[in-house]
Amino acid sequence: MNNAAPIRNDWTVAEVQALFDQPFNDLLFQAQTVHRQHFNPNEVQVSTLLSIKTGACPEDCKYCPQSGHYNTGLEKERLLQVEKVIEKAKQAKASGSTRFCMGAAWKHPADKDMPYVVEMVKQVKALGLETCMTLGMLTEDKAEQLADAGLDYYNHNLDTSPEFYDKIITTRSFQDRLDTLSNVRNSGMKICSGGILGMGETATDRIGLLRQLANMDVQPESVPINMLVKVKGTPLENVDDLDPLDFIRTIAVARIMMPASHVRLSAGREKMSDEMQSMAFFAGANSIFYGECLLTTPNPETHRDLQLFKRLGINPEQRIEEDDQAQEAAIINTLQKQQDSSHFYEA
């Protein structure tokens, strides 16, 4: 695109610090300017996330209710049957989602599980949805298998800076995460990778996280920025709140550093006011999860999202091959049907 900000992979700490140090309005203006060079500012991409295997994870991520190391009262579920997943994917498509993300609480997928997840990818893809999975660490071979099945995106978050990482997770290293991302990239899949804010990290850690993401040889196509959801029973249940304006600043800096990536407003939206979410969109967030549950934490009810979109004049981003009118009709239909219904995604 003409006059678009270049995509850089050599951000220094001082440069990122300087972005954060700007007056808030200057930062947001810069982020919005960059955003408009690459995206329609009035469109937000909509994904649905389904937990295909819940709880009893051997990893010890201190924020996560699915870790088997903590007692959070979460009900465990085995790997869902392929048919069940496809049923949910159809519902997601009918509700206007363009991407269907499937998450499993594993350290890594076991050999015996691969045929099932491969089948899920093939069948969801056949519905005309983009596919994304998050299954833990991937070897080169497993990444290839998923890519061959047609998986579009693989999610594997860096979570935080390399320096703060071992305060949050001890069962695998930061390097393990980078290795998985490298296997994903080499297999030809797109990368979805971001982090979580509000875990007690410093401002320097937030800079470190964004530098790790932006300075990859090819930046992640999708960058989820999560606000910690403090879950009772996890070690982070009583951590201090992050200033919401620091959250917005981080979104804005992510937008400037990764101008062509979708920056996703992810976990933690439930606790955000409509005004805060609107400010995040202005700062350059242009993707959300849609549906009542984000894996196992609450997500704003779908109709609240649709009403907010309407108030802001935001349209769901279309896939090129999608029929605009059909998708719009699906969204309106959902809004009408959901005034008082309990929605899907109990996972």
Task: Give the active site residue among 255, 264, 269, 293.
Answer: 264
Residues forming a β-bridge with 47: 99, 289
Nearer to ligand SF4 (CB atom), residue 159 or residue 317: 159
Q: Which stretch binds ligand SF4 (CB under 6 A): 54-62, 115-123, 145-153, 212-220?
A: 54-62
We find the least distance from the C-beta atom of residue 177 to ligand SF4, in angstroms, to be 10
Q: Among candidates 223, 218, 278, which has minimal Cα distance to 256?
A: 223
Name, in order, each residue with C-beta under 8 angstroms of 250's C-beta and a sequence gap of 6 or more: 197, 206, 210, 225
CA distance 191 to 155: 6
Q: Among candidates 262, 259, 267, 164, which has minimal Cα distance to 209?
A: 164
φ and ψ at 159, to 5 degrees?
75, -55
293 annotated to a ligand binding site: no
Residue in 19, 44, 57, 117 binding ligand SF4, rule: CB under 6 A: 57
Region 97-116 residues binding ligand SF4, contact defined as CB under 6 A: 105
57 annotated to a ligand binding site: yes
- Contact between residue 121 and residue 131 where contact means Cβ atoms under 8 Å apart: yes
Nearer to ligand SF4 (CB atom), residue 109 or residue 136: 136
CA distance 38 to 55: 38
264 annotated to a ligand binding site: yes
Residues forming a β-bridge with 191: 154
132 annotated to a ligand binding site: yes
The answer to whether 136 contacts ligand SF4 (rule: CB under 6 A) is yes
61 annotated to a ligand binding site: yes
Give catalytic status of residue 293 as yes or no.
no
Residue in 44, 59, 181, 183 binding ligand SF4, rule: CB under 6 A: 59
Quick count: other Cβ atoms within 10 Å of Cβ 248? 22
- Contact between residue 125 and residue 155 where contact means Cβ atoms under 8 Å apart: no
CA distance 252 to 258: 10
Region 250-279 residues binding ligand SF4, contact defined as CB under 6 A: none
Nearer to ligand SF4 (CB atom), residue 176 or residue 274: 176
Which SS3 state, helix, strand or coil, does residue 276 take?
A: helix
Nearer to ligand SF4 (CB atom), residue 122 or residue 167: 167
Cα dihedral across residues 50, 55, 58, 61: positive or negative: positive
Nearer to ligand SF4 (CB atom), residue 66 or residue 183: 66
Q: Which stretch binds ligand SF4 (CB under 6 A): 4-12, 59-67, 81-89, 125-133?
A: 59-67
Nearer to ligand SF4 (CB atom), residue 225 or residue 252: 225
Region 65-94 residues binding ligand SF4, contact defined as CB under 6 A: 66-67
We find the least distance from the C-beta atom of residue 57 to ligand SF4, in angstroms, to be 3
Task: Give the active site residue among 99, 172, 192, 249.
Answer: 192
CA distance 187 to 181: 10
- Contact between residue 321 and residue 98 where contact means Cβ atoms under 8 Å apart: no
Give catalytic status of residue 61 as yes or no.
yes
Name, in order, each residue with C-beta under 8 angstroms of 123's C-beta and a sequence gap of 6 or more: 82, 85, 86, 89
338 token code pair: 């959901």
The answer to whether 145 contacts ligand SF4 (rule: CB under 6 A) is no
Give catalytic status of residue 132 as yes or no.
yes
Q: Which stretch binds ligand SF4 (CB under 6 A): 63-71, 93-101, 184-192, 274-282?
A: 63-71
Query: Known catalytic residues?
Result: 57, 61, 64, 101, 132, 192, 264
Where does this chain bind ligand SF4 (CB under 6 A)? 57, 59, 61, 64, 66-67, 105, 136
| Binding site, annotated residues for [2Fe-2S] cluster | 101, 132, 192, 264
Q: Which residues are annotated binding-site positions for [4Fe-4S] cluster?
A: 57, 61, 64
